């Protein structure tokens, strides 16, 4: 008998979790629409690809700076 109560409690918690997630998902659409109508739509968060592009840009800049410094150091050594 205890096993049945344990199982029913598990499924009850699972159903409550899914109901909460469904209600949250359902609520976001009208909320976004209302915010857009009021002009309060927040800036969209950058996507994963945009974040990677930014990281690549920063790395390219660092590499370019290091290369220029290295070339400058080599030229100075050759001139001496």
Are 36 and 50 found together in one domain?
no
pLDDT digits (tens, 9 = 90+) for 53-65: 999 999 999 999 9
Instruction: Give the confidence band of 1 by pLDDT, cuts at 50, 70, 90.
Output: low
Residues 62 and 31 in one domain: no
Shared-domain flag, residues 29 and 59 = no
Residues 5 and 37 in one domain: yes
Which pTM value belongs to this model? 0.41
* 3-16 confidence digits (pLDDT tens): 788 889 999 999 99
Q: Are residues 6 and 36 located together in one domain of the fold?
A: yes
Q: Which domain holds residue 15?
A: 1-42
Q: How many domains does the chain have?
A: 2
Output the CA–CA distances (angstroms, integers) from residue 40 to 31, 45, 47, 51, 80, in the order listed.
11, 15, 20, 24, 63
**Rounded-to-integer distance, Cα 76 and Cα 10, Å:** 73
Query: Does residue 38 share a domain with residue 55?
Result: no
Average pLDDT, the chain: 88
For residue range 27-55, what is the model confidence (pLDDT) as tens digits?
888 888 888 888 877 666 778 888 899 99
């Amino acid at each position: 008998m205890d096993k049945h109560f344990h199982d029913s409690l598990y499924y009850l918690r699972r159903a409550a979790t899914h109901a909460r997630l469904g209600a949250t998902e359902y609520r976001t659409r009208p909320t976004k629409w209302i915010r857009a109508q009021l002009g309060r739509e927040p800036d969209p968060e950058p996507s994963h690809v945009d974040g990677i592009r930014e990281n690549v840009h920063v790395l390219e800049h660092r590499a370019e700076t290091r290369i220029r410094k290295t070339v400058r150091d080599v030229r100075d050594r050759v001139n001496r």
